[in-house]
């Protein structure tokens, strides 16, 4: 039992502090990326963070059952939005991924990363344990994953498609589906890779090829990776110092405030800054995984574990991309990259996990929030 008054103690202080620290560091990096200015990025980024943090705290007050009840309608709604942007895009000619919300442009595909986790968690929570080895446990999940993946792939947005598939597959995995399915799928995927590759858009194929040999085309599409590696590599142990990054300030680094913000950071803060950031993400993910393990309900477990995977996927793919370990796919770095949609997604994830955590702690009143 805590000695601190319940309403204050009820606030998830550690997570608030951790996410705030990450967002504030992002503010510092974006301030530098703008050449030492709060505009246009740093100020807006911090304002958005505060708004979305409040939103996350509101979500954390939702009852887990309420979230559970929203999972299928939410999934259907986001899928309809995806269909809507696809149709609008077709009508207008060319692809469109977002709906304008005034303050920022909402990408329904971002929300789908959450919706797919919730929908699958709900599905497997409903499914009796004995059914999970049967084919009936597989095909609905594949349909649930397949519909939004197809729609997002049509946009075309390979990175988000992979994020949706990855989050979905992880929920299937932790829900206890037989291992042979995953091994079989992995084998089939490897076999089908050349066919899938040929189905990709030209620019996507090019990005993958250039990922394999970025130096072959340093001024063309490989430019992003090469310049990003130069920024990170030239930073050294402690970086060139705040406001002293030349790769970002002289505009050699493309997208230095969005997808490649890590390179901007690493140039000025060095390996030290990078490790601090990794530590921050590690603490966040360890907490989220802990919530999943603590959760008492199947829905809570699967949701928390799935959303943890969603956050992890952002971080891992983005960092692999900027360090030249993955092709350039447009995936932002949570808390760090400037952009409303991804931050909203991340903060909704945090909010839902906080809600699950609250329920878990109510069940185990002796346990602390952050193990």
Partner 1 sequence: MKRRTKRTRPILTEGTQSLSFTRRTMLVGGAQIGIGALLAARMAYISIADNEHYRMLSESNRLNMTLIPPRRGWVIDRYGAAIANNRVDLRVDIIPERLKRPEQTLATLQNILALEPEEMERIRGELDRATSFQPVQVADGISEQAFAAISVRLPELPGVSPLRGFTRNYPSGAAVGHLMGYVGIASAEEYKESKDPLLITPGFKIGKDGLEKQFEQQLRGKPGAKRVEVTARGKVVRELTTTPDVPGHPIHLTLNADLQAYAARRLGRESGSVVVIDCLTGDLLTMASMPSFDPNSFSNGIGHDEWNLLSNDDHVPLRNKVLKGLYPPGSTVKPMVAMSFLEAGLSPDESVTCNGGLRVGNRVFHCWQRRGHGRVDMAKGIYQSCDVYFYYFAQKMGMNVIAAMAKRLGLGQEFPLPVSSQFYGTVPDPEWKMKKYKQAWQPYDTVNATIGQGYMLFNPLQLAVMASRLATGKKLMPHLLMDPKRKAAETLGFTDEHISYVRAAMSEVVNGRGTAGRARIPVDNVLLAGKTGTAQVVSLDRGSGKGGLWKYRDHGLFICFAPFDNPRFACSVVIEHGGGSGAAYPIARDVMTFLYDRQKAMDVLLPLEAAWGGTVEQRMASAMARFKSPVATPAPDTPPPPPGDNPR
Q: Beta partners for 106?
A: 99
Span interacting with partner 1, options 22-30, 56-64, 140-148, 175-183, rule CB under 8 A: 175-183
CA-to-CA separations, 229 to 234, 319, 363, in angstroms, rounded: 8, 11, 48
Which three-class secondary structure state does DSSP give residue 366? coil
End-to-end CA distance of the chain: 16
How far is Cα 19 from Cα 7, in angstroms, rounded to an integer?
Answer: 20
Question: Among residues 69 and 133, whose Cβ is nearest to partner 1?
Answer: 133
Using CB under 8 A as the binding criterion, the count of chain residues that bind partner 1 stands at 50
Torsion over CA: 247, 251, 254, 258 (sign): positive
Question: Among residues 41 and 281, whose Cβ is nearest to partner 1?
Answer: 281
> Is residue 282 a contact residue for partner 1 (CB under 8 A)?
yes
How far is Cα 278 from Cα 97, in angstroms, rounded to an integer?
Answer: 30
> Is residue 280 a contact residue for partner 1 (CB under 8 A)?
no
DSSP codes of every residue in 264-298: HHHHHHHHHHHHHHHHHHHHHHHHHHHHHHH--SH
Span interacting with partner 1, options 45-53, 57-65, 273-281, 346-354, rule CB under 8 A: 273-281
User: In the bound complex, what is the minimum distance in angstroms from residue 271's beta carbon to partner 1?
Assistant: 5
Which three-class secondary structure state does DSSP give residue 106? strand
Torsion over CA: 191, 195, 197, 199 (sign): negative
> Is residue 235 a contact residue for partner 1 (CB under 8 A)?
yes
What are φ and ψ of residue 369, in 5° steps? -65, -40
> Is residue 351 a contact residue for partner 1 (CB under 8 A)?
no
Span interacting with partner 1, options 99-107, 108-116, 153-161, 248-256, rule CB under 8 A: 248-256
User: In the bound complex, what is the minimum distance in angstroms from residue 93's beta carbon to partner 1?
Assistant: 26
Site string for partner 1, 283-312 (x = CB under 8 A): --xx--x--xx----x--xx--x---x--x
Residue appearing with tokens 């993958």: 208
CB distance 309 to 175 below 8 Å: no
Question: Among residues 61 and 286, whose Cβ is nearest to partner 1?
Answer: 286
Question: Among residues 73 and 178, whose Cβ is nearest to partner 1?
Answer: 178
How far is Cα 50 from Cα 52, in angstroms, rounded to an integer?
Answer: 6
User: In the bound complex, what is the minimum distance in angstroms from residue 47's beta carbon to partner 1?
Assistant: 29
How far is Cα 93 from Cα 95, in angstroms, rounded to an integer?
Answer: 7
> Is residue 236 a contact residue for partner 1 (CB under 8 A)?
yes
How far is Cα 24 from Cα 166, in angstroms, rounded to an integer?
Answer: 29
User: In the bound complex, what is the minimum distance in angstroms from residue 331's beta carbon to partner 1?
Assistant: 14
Give me 83's structure tokens: 């269909």
User: In the bound complex, what is the minimum distance in angstroms from residue 132's beta carbon to partner 1?
Assistant: 6
How far is Cα 135 from Cα 155, in angstroms, rounded to an integer?
Answer: 31
User: In the bound complex, what is the minimum distance in angstroms from residue 59's beta carbon to partner 1?
Assistant: 22
Site for partner 1 in 81-140 (CB under 8 A): 129-130, 132-133
> Is residue 371 a contact residue for partner 1 (CB under 8 A)?
no
User: In the bound complex, what is the minimum distance in angstroms from residue 292's beta carbon to partner 1?
Assistant: 6
Site string for partner 1, 312-331 (x = CB under 8 A): x---x--xx--x-x------
User: In the bound complex, what is the minimum distance in angstroms from residue 13's beta carbon to partner 1?
Assistant: 23
Neighbours of 333 (CB within 10 A): 26
How far is Cα 140 from Cα 117, in angstroms, rounded to an integer?
Answer: 13
Span interacting with partner 1, options 8-16, 71-79, 151-159, 229-237, rule CB under 8 A: 229-237
In degrees, to the nearest 5, what angle opens at C-alpha 328 toward C-alphas 163 and 52? 50
> Is residue 231 a contact residue for partner 1 (CB under 8 A)?
yes
Q: Running DSSP on this structure, what letter comes out for residue 105? A: E
Binding site for partner 1 (CB under 8 A): 129-130, 132-133, 170, 173-176, 178, 227, 229-237, 246-247, 250-252, 266-267, 270-271, 274-275, 278, 281-282, 285-286, 289, 292-293, 298, 301-302, 305, 309, 312, 316, 319-320, 323, 325
């Amino acid at each position: 039992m805590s000695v601190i008054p319940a309403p204050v103690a009820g606030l998830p202080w550690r997570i608030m502090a951790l996410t705030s620290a990450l967002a504030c560091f992002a503010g510092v990096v974006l301030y530098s990326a703008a050449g030492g200015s709060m505009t246009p990025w740093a100020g807006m980024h911090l304002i958005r963070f505060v708004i979305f943090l409040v939103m996350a705290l509101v979500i954390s007050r939702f009852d887990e059952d309420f979230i559970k009840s929203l999972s299928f309608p939410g999934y259907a709604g986001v899928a309809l939005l995806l269909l809507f942007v696809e149709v609008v895009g077709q009508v207008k000619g060319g692809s469109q991924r977002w709906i304008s919300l005034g303050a920022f442009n909402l990408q329904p595909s971002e929300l789908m990363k959450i919706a797919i986790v919730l929908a699958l968690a709900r599905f497997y929570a409903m499914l009796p344990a004995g059914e999970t080895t049967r084919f009936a446990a597989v095909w609905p999940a594949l349909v649930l994953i397949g519909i939004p993946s197809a729609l997002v792939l049509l946009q075309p947005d390979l990175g988000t498609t992979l994020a949706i598939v990855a989050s979905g597959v992880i929920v299937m995995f932790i829900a206890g589906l037989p291992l042979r399915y995953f091994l079989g799928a992995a084998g089939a995927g490897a076999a089908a890779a050349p066919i899938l590759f040929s189905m990709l858009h030209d620019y996507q194929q090019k990005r993958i090829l250039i990922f394999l040999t970025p130096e072959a085309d340093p001024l063309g599409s490989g430019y992003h990776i090469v310049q990003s590696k130069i920024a990170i590599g030239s930073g050294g142990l402690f970086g060139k110092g705040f406001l002293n990054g030349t790769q970002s300030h002289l505009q050699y680094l493309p997208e230095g405030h969005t997808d490649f913000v890590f390179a901007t950071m690493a140039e000025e803060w060095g390996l030290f800054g990078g490790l601090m950031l990794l530590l921050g993400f590690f603490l966040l993910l360890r907490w989220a995984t802990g919530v999943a393990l603590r959760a008492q309900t199947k829905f809570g477990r699967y949701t928390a574990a799935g959303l943890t995977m969603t956050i992890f996927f952002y971080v891992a793919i983005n960092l692999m991309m900027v360090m030249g370990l993955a092709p350039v796919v447009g995936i932002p770095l949570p808390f760090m990259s400037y952009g409303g949609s991804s931050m909203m997604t991340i903060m909704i994830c945090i909010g839902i996990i906080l809600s699950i955590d609250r329920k878990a702690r109510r069940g185990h009143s002796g346990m602390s929030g952050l193990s």
